[in-house]
């Protein structure tokens, strides 16, 4: 059985002091959650978050990382910097990185290789735009992104990765894919993983849903056979809402 994993992507929200307050409120609410719980604050909050989470079961994630170990990359952050702060997970390929900052399937792959080589866990984001769904391209787009992100990775590396399916049209819009729509794409991803790496590997990979999951729809989505958790945006900024989603993974 795959243990569910729910990760909160805070995006560009919260100062370090606000992060500490939110995490102090969250810790007791998810102490007995039936899933792995992860939070991804902004880079400037990671050290304060790590201090606040010490001794808890909540994992710490970064929202991005550069694939080079060091160098003249102004504004970037390296894996070693994240490791020194206790970061264990890294979100890569988020649709906002693709849309606003030039992320491509190739750069997602380079980041994934670097993250895995360092012993961290990548949360690899894939998903289609509204016009791609409406024109029947969902399967082709998601398959291309999965293949690109995982290129040249071993089955063991893929088994240790997390994939987050985020229909871009359902992020921050209030829209949400139906449970059937979400499950359909998750099953497609798992089928593709089986074709590329074998059924045993496909069965190990945790696939999160990342499209406006909220307390009122979380249980239905998390009950689907191929949905292994959530990558949560806005709802992760409210301790009670995020905890409700985590505790819905029963």
Residues tagged active-site: 94, 166
Per-residue DSSP letters for the chain? -PPPEEEEE--S---HHHHHHHHHHHHHHTTT-SSEEEEE--GGGHHHHHHHHTTSS-EEEES---SSSSSS-TT---HHHHHHTT--EEEES-HHHHHHH---HHHHHHHHHHHHHTT-EEEEEE---HHHHHTT-HHHHHHHHHHHHHTT--HHHHHT-EEEE--GGGSSSS----HHHHHHHHHHHHHHHHHHH-HHHHHH-EEEE-SS--HHHHHHHHTSTT--EEEESGGGGSHHHHHHHHHT--
């Amino acid at each position: 059985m795959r243990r569910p994993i729910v990760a909160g992507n805070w995006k560009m929200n919260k100062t370090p002091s606000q992060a500490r307050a939110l995490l102090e409120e969250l810790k007791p609410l998810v102490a007995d959650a039936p899933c792995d719980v992860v939070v991804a604050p902004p880079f400037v909050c990671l050290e304060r978050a790590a201090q606040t989470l010490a001794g808890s079961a909540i994992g710490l994630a970064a929202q991005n990382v550069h694939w080079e170990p060091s160098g003249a990359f102004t504004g970037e952050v390296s894996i070693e910097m994240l490791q020194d702060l206790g970061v264990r997970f890294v979100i890569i390929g988020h649709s906002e990185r693709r849309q606003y900052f030039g992320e491509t399937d190739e750069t997602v792959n380079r980041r994934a290789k670097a993250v895995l080589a360092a012993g961290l866990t990548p949360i690899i984001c894939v998903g289609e735009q509204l016009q791609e769904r409406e024109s029947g391209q969902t399967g082709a787009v998601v398959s291309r992104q999965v293949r690109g992100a995982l290129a040249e990775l071993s089955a063991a590396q893929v088994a240790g990765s997390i994939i987050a399916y985020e229909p871009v049209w359902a992020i921050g819009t209030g829209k949400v894919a139906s449970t059937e729509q979400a499950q359909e794409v998750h099953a497609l991803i798992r089928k593709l993983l089986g074709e590329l790496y074998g059924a045993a590997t496909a069965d190990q990979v945790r696939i999160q849903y990342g499209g406006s999951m909220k307390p009122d729809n979380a249980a239905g989505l998390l009950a689907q056979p191929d949905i292994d958790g959530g990558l949560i945006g806005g709802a992760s900024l409210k301790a009670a809402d995020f905890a409700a989603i985590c505790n819905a993974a029963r």
